[in-house]
């Protein structure tokens, strides 16, 4: 499952020329022009975009509601008459805002017992974000590509309406969503900024 056109590696420098040639950026081999307005613009003038699907636990619904959601989802998938990608990606849980609030509360508090409780919460939050737990949010996307912006908007509208009929919420993907997806595929889930990651052919 590829989100972008297959890259032609025939132009990659050989090992014999790598020592004298310039250092290449990793993104030089990925056919992406830009990420803007919730779309990835490719070198071939296609745009990759789509929707982000809010999770829904159908197993806590009663039998009738669950069957209704599944029936509407079946109709939703049957109406998609173009190529698309169903993407599942993990995003690290970010509780930095919560930690900042705890730290501010600690500074304002004068009660020793309460300050001790706040410190305990801060320590738990720091442990929660550590590598030992590796806590992530799993996010779900439907992506597609097209050249015409008016068709893209129509497809996004139809996708969101179709999921709404199944009582499932969705939004158009953001630039941050698309960068996170690329990070998952290209960098093993590590967040990077284009232009900062280098690879040298050896």
pLDDT tens digits along 69-99: 999 999 999 999 999 999 998 777 777 888 8
Instruction: Tell me which of 109, 128, 147 is where a domain ends.
Output: 128
Q: How far is CA 68 from the centre of its chain?
A: 28
- Looking at the structure, tell me whether residues 64 and 114 fall in a common domain: no
Task: Report the pLDDT averaged over residues 1-11.
Answer: 42
Tell whether 1 is covered by a domain: no
Q: Please state, in angstroms and rounded to a whole number, the distance separating the CA atoms of residues 50 and 55.
A: 16
Tell whether 174 is covered by a domain: yes
Q: Whole-model pTM above 0.75?
A: no
Domain that holds residue 21: 15-92+137-199
- Looking at the structure, tell me whether residues 53 and 109 fall in a common domain: no
Domain count, the chain: 2
- Looking at the structure, tell me whether residues 24 and 119 fall in a common domain: no
- Looking at the structure, tell me whether residues 68 and 165 fall in a common domain: yes
- Looking at the structure, tell me whether residues 34 and 100 fall in a common domain: no
């Amino acid at each position: 499952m590829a989100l972008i056109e297959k890259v032609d590696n025939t132009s990659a420098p050989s090992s014999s020329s790598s020592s004298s040639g310039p250092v290449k950026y990793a993104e030089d081999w990925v056919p992406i022009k830009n990420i803007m307005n919730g779309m990835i613009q490719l070198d071939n003038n296609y745009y990759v975009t789509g929707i982000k699907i809010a999770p829904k636990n159908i197993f806590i619904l009663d039998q009738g509601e669950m069957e209704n959601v599944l029936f509407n989802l079946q109709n939703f998938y049957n109406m998609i008459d173009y190529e698309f990608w169903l993407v599942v990606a993990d995003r690290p849980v970010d509780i930095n805002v919560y930690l900042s609030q705890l730290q501010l509360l600690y500074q304002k508090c004068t009660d020793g017992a309460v300050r001790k409780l706040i410190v305990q919460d801060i320590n738990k939050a720091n442990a929660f974000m550590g590598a030992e737990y590796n806590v992530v949010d799993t996010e779900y996307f439907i992506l597609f590509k097209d050249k015409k912006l008016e068709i893209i908007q129509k497809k996004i509208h139809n996708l969101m309406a179709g999921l709404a009929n199944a009582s499932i919420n969705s939004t158009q993907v953001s630039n941050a969503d698309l960068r996170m997806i690329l990070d998952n595929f290209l960098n093993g889930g590590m967040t990077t900024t284009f232009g900062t990651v280098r690879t040298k052919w050896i």
